[in-house]
Amino acid sequence: MADRLEEFRRFRERMNERILEAGNLEIKRFFALDTRCYEPGALDVKTKELLGLVASMVLRCDDCVTYHLVRCKEEGVSDAELFETFNVGLIVGGSIVIPHLRRAVDMLDRLNADGPIDIDRETAE
């Protein structure tokens, strides 16, 4: 599992670097905006990561679900808080979210078994 998460992190870093080095101003601005969105403000980082997790479940993006799960664990989110968040995603997204819920719970179990992994916080997704 740690290998899978490490591969996920390395791929994100490599591809983010490749995308940004292309020099497209609009893409750079979007990535910067995405990063800034998850900084503390009126909402704390933990809450923003939980919101990102719900949105990722509803949009059915497994990479984003993984990213936000890792970030939630880094922010000290409990499993009980995660399951309430999963429930919100399921209610908002409907039954089509169930496969992503299964993979999210599998990832949570793996994270709990293997411990934390540091995810590059530049460009959240």
Which one, of 114, 112, 119, 88, lies nearest residue 101 by Cα?
A: 88
pLDDT for 9: 86
pLDDT the model gives residue 32: 95
What stretch of H or E contains 82? helix 79-93
pLDDT value for 121: 57
Contact 14, 121 (CB under 8 A): no
List all residues 6 or more positions away from 84 whose beta carbon is below 8 Å from its beta carbon.
none
**pTM score, whole prediction:** 0.85
Q: What is the pLDDT of residue 4?
A: 82
Spans of the chain below 70 pLDDT: 1, 116-125
pLDDT of residue 125: 54
